[in-house]
Amino acid sequence: MTRKGRTRLLVTSGDGPRECRLAVSHVLKRMEQEASAAGLRFEAQRADTPDGGDPASALVTLSGENTDRFARRWCGTVQWTSQSPFRPHHKRRNWFVGIFEAGTEEAPEAVLTPKALKVETFRSGGPGGQHQNTTDSGVRVTHLETGLSAFSTDERSQHRNRQVALDRLAAKFILRAEESKARDRSNQNQLHKQLERGNPVRKFKGERFAEAT
């Protein structure tokens, strides 16, 4: 749903195999490129992966003008046709990702209260010049009860980085809620079967994830 120029999308592999999780990563990269070209702000909160691999799902937040129009080009089933990079002799070549509009609910206020959080500051390297490297402008926030955390070094000021980190932590809670809704609608195996049966709104092919015509 759209609210004040913001749209949230759930991108999910529907518990598909590893190739579908790779397709999620491809979709996120392509979506970010198209969002940038459209002048939209793109933020993706990926589900945690124990092995550090591709995520099974992600919550995308789009900000700017006409985010709903942008979202309509993506919502539905995305099909990626490619030989498996993990199982070269596998016969299957079609992999599916589902993209759905997420709800407008915010993270519960109780989880973001100062008493519920641990806030840490640290020196942030990278872009920003001397100011960033010599001040504790980076901020990490951790929700004490769940251990969920997020950080930001994107901004020059500690105040702005704190807000960005809080927004990212909130997105993690929202992602968990959206994943729970998907499981409630049907179990994940059924969801993946639905993705396979759906008519793709967009098709891509090959290792370079080129759009198929």
CA distance 32 to 5: 17
Q: Which residues of 193-213 are buried (b: 16+ CB within 10 A; e: fewer)?
A: eebeeeebebebbeeebeeee
pLDDT (tens digit per residue) in 101-127: 887 666 666 678 888 899 999 987 644
The two tokens of residue 163 are 């807000």
The full set of domains in the chain, from first to last, is 6-105+186-211 (3.30.70.1660), 109-170 (3.30.160.20)
**pTM for this prediction:** 0.72
How many other CB atoms are found less than 10 A from the CB of residue 137?
24
Partnered with residue 149 across adjacent β-strands are 142
Q: pLDDT digits over 160-169, tens only?
A: 899 889 888 8
Share of the chain above pLDDT 90, in %: 47
